Structure formats: structure tokens, C-alpha cells
């Protein structure tokens, strides 16, 4: 492929990746700040500003998840049309993000991107193009993390209820609102450490496939660009999803908001340290469910959980199919 053509394609891919990151920011911002807004620990405006700043800092802090996305799903060094594969994956994943955000469904941006990348690879070179071992490990992390989050949210809420069983409810709520400013900050930071890394990884994948890079190191400009796009998306916010997470699972109080924040942050940061991409949507929603089960099981709105589960189940295969279709269109119009 001529150098000018390759350069034009990689520019398009980077723009698409950053737009995906932006859409990820306005969808998953809701996850990071829904609890603090619903408990009135933070005003919506302050919560969004705080989340944007902490997302940006978190995005710059780690690269392990980026390297996993860049090299564990498929081998970017071995794919002839790798840049077009990434292009198809990004179009499909972004489309799914926009659709689910419009309908207020907190689906997983991580599932969308991972499923779309796998679907585009299969459409290009077949199933043999997938790194089964690496892809399997990613799927295992995506499966285990919500279960861990339910357990963590339950454990934190159960402990708080036991420790403060005889405390004055008014005083406890006031104190936990203050504490939640810190836990919401940590949750937004942890979100940046994992979710923005995925965009860094997909850009690096495309750079390698296009011959612009010879290793999996994440360049500084990639980190800054992805962190900035995520922060800008965060500043927009996803108000329909905030309503779903903040009110449609269980009515959150400051203590349960802190428990949910701590449970999800623990799981997300642990995954980031291991270089494992997880769905922050799954983790945060699951932690809220765990908190609700510990506090008042009968008050949990299980119908919301069922609707979320349907969206989560659909995300990976639908995004894979969309990406495969996008790649076929590109193949017919551009590649061939």
C-alpha cells in the first residue's frame, strides 16, 4: 500500500478510535458518578468535572490493559489488512455505544470493542486469526469481574451495616456523603485506568498493522489523546444511564453509595494491575446489586437487572456481527 494511502487510513483509524473513546466517556461516565449524584453527595455539574479530571489522570497511569488489547486478541504483526480490521471494529463498537446510550441501556463498551475486534478479524482471515488463549483469558476476566463486584459490594455494605447498626441515621448519612466524594473520585480514576487503556490498545494495534510501529509500547501521544477524548466524553455525561444506575436498581443512600463505589473500585483496580480488560459497566452495576442485596434484598429492582443482562448478553455477538458486516463492506469498496 502506498505510504500516502497508509497515512490517510491510520489518521482515519485514530480519529475513529478517539471518537469511540469519547462515546465511551459519555456512556461510562454515568457508571462512575451515578451513585454520588443519586445520593446527593455531589451535584451533577461537580460530579462530571470531578469524573473528567480523575478519568484523565487514571488513563495516564497504566498501560497493561492497552497492551492486552493491542496484542492478545489477535496478532497485529500477522494481519495483512489490520488497519481496515480496526476501522470496521471501531465503527461497529461506536454504533453500539450510541444506540445503547440513546435507549438508556448500560451495556458494556468493553464487550462492544472486544467483540467487534474479534468479529472483524474473523471476517478478514477466519477464526484462525484469533489468539484463542489470549481471547479466552480476556473472556474469563469479563465473566469473573461482575461476580467479584457483587461479592465486594455485598461485603462492604454488610460490614458498614454491622459497624454502624446503632448509629444515628441522619449523622451517618451526612458523614457518608462526605466520604463518597473520595470514593467517587477513586471510582472515576479506576475507570480511566481500565477503559481508556482499551482505546490506546486499539490505536497501537492499528499502528503496528500499518507498519508505523514495531512493538507494543504505548506512545505518549496515544496516552494523552485517549485520556483527553475520554475526559471530554465524560464532560458530556450520559444522563439516561445515570438515572438507570442511580434509581432503577435500588434507591441508594450515602452508605450504600460508598459501598458500591468501594466494591467496584476494588475490582477494577485489581484487574488493571493484572492487565485484564474488564467491563466497568458490569462491575459498577454488579456492585450496586451486591450492595442492594446486603441492605434490603426485597427492594432490589430485579427487572432492571434482567434488562441489563439482556443488553450485556447481546453486546458481544451483535458488535461482532456488525464489525464483520462493516469489514465486508470495506472489503468490497476499498480493499478489493
pLDDT tens digits for 39-57? 777 777 787 788 888 888 9
Kindly report the number of other CB atoms within 10 A of residue 123's CB atom: 23
Whether the Cβ atoms of residue 88 and residue 323 lie closer than 8 Å to each other: yes
Which of 144-153, 181-190, 192-201, 284-293 has the highest mean predicted lDDT (pLDDT)? 144-153
Banded pLDDT at 83 (limits 50, 70, 90):
very high
pLDDT of residue 50: 82
pLDDT of residue 28: 63
Please give the full DSSP string across 288-301, using - where no structure is assigned. HHHHHHHHHGGGS-
Whether the Cβ atoms of residue 195 and residue 62 lie closer than 8 Å to each other: no
Cα separation, 290 vs 284, whole angstroms: 10
Mean pLDDT, residues 75-99: 90
Banded pLDDT at 239 (limits 50, 70, 90):
low
pLDDT of residue 246: 47
Coil vs helix vs strand at 164: coil
- What percentage of the chain reaches a pLDDT higher than 70? 87
Banded pLDDT at 256 (limits 50, 70, 90):
confident
Residues paired with residue 74 on neighbouring β-strands, in sequence order? 130
pLDDT of residue 327: 95
> Any idea which residue has 470496521 for its cell?
88
Q: Crossing angle for the helix pair 169-209 and 220-236, nearest 10 degrees?
A: 140
pLDDT of residue 224: 93
263-316, pLDDT tens digit by residue? 999 999 999 999 999 988 788 888 988 888 887 766 666 666 676 777 778 888
The candidate with the shortest Cα–Cα distance to 283, out of 116, 143, 113, is 143
The DSSP element (H or E) to which 182 belongs, if any, is helix 169-209
Banded pLDDT at 106 (limits 50, 70, 90):
low
Coil vs helix vs strand at 130: strand
pLDDT of residue 255: 86
The DSSP element (H or E) to which 87 belongs, if any, is helix 82-102
Residues paired with residue 130 on neighbouring β-strands, in sequence order? 74
Mean pLDDT, residues 206-231: 91
Angle CA(55)–CA(206)–CA(233) in degrees, nearest 5? 25
Residue scoring higher pLDDT (281 or 88)? 88
pLDDT of residue 31: 64
Average pLDDT, the chain: 84
Banded pLDDT at 319 (limits 50, 70, 90):
very high
Taking 90 as the threshold, does the pLDDT of residue 88 lie above it?
Answer: yes
Q: Which three cell numbers stand for residue 233?
A: 466524553
Taking 90 as the threshold, does the pLDDT of residue 120 lie above it?
Answer: yes
> Any idea which residue has 476476566 for its cell?
141
pLDDT of residue 205: 93
pLDDT of residue 69: 92
Banded pLDDT at 248 (limits 50, 70, 90):
low
53-65, pLDDT tens digit by residue? 888 898 888 888 9
pLDDT of residue 218: 92
Amino acid at each position: 500500500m502506498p505510504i500516502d494511502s497508509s497515512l490517510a487510513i491510520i489518521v482515519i483509524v485514530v480519529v475513529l478510535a478517539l471518537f469511540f473513546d469519547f462515546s465511551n466517556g459519555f456512556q461510562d461516565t454515568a457508571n462512575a458518578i451515578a451513585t454520588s449524584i443519586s445520593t446527593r453527595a455531589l451535584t451533577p455539574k461537580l460530579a462530571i468535572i470531578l469524573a473528567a479530571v480523575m478519568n484523565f489522570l487514571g488513563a495516564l497511569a497504566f498501560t497493561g490493559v492497552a497492551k492486552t488489547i493491542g496484542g492478545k486478541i489477535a496478532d497485529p504483526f500477522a494481519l495483512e489488512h489490520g488497519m481496515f480490521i480496526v476501522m470496521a471494529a471501531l465503527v461497529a463498537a461506536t454504533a453500539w455505544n450510541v444506540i445503547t446510550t440513546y435507549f438508556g441501556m448500560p451495556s458494556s463498551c468493553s464487550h462492544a470493542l472486544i467483540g467487534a475486534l474479534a468479529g472483524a478479524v474473523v471476517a478478514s482471515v477466519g477464526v484462525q486469526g484469533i489468539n484463542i488463549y489470549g481471547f479466552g483469558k480476556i473472556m474469563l476476566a469479563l465473566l469473573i469481574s461482575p461476580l467479584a463486584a457483587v461479592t465486594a459490594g455485598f461485603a462492604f455494605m454488610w460490614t458498614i451495616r454491622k459497624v454502624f447498626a446503632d448509629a444515628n441515621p441522619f449523622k451517618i448519612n451526612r458523614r457518608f456523603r462526605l466520604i463518597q466524594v473520595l470514593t467517587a473520585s477513586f471510582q472515576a480514576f479506576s475507570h480511566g485506568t481500565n477503559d481508556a487503556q482499551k482505546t490506546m490498545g486499539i490505536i497501537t494495534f492499528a499502528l503496528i498493522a500499518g507498519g508505523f510501529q514495531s512493538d507494543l509500547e504505548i506512545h505518549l501521544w496515544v496516552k494523552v489523546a485517549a485520556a483527553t477524548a475520554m475526559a471530554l466524553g465524560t464532560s458530556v455525561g450520559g444522563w439516561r444511564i445515570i438515572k438507570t444506575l442511580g434509581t432503577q436498581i435500588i434507591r441508594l443512600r450515602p452508605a450504600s453509595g460508598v459501598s458500591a463505589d468501594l466494591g467496584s473500585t476494588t475490582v477494577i483496580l485489581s484487574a488493571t494491575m493484572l492487565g485484564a480488560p474488564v467491563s466497568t459497566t458490569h462491575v459498577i452495576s454488579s456492585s450496586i446489586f451486591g450492595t442492594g442485596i446486603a441492605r434490603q434484598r426485597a427492594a432490589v429492582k430485579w427487572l432492571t437487572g434482567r434488562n441489563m443482562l439482556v443488553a450485556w448478553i447481546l453486546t458481544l455477538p451483535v458488535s461482532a456481527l456488525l464489525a464483520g458486516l462493516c469489514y465486508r463492506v470495506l472489503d468490497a469498496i476499498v480493499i478489493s
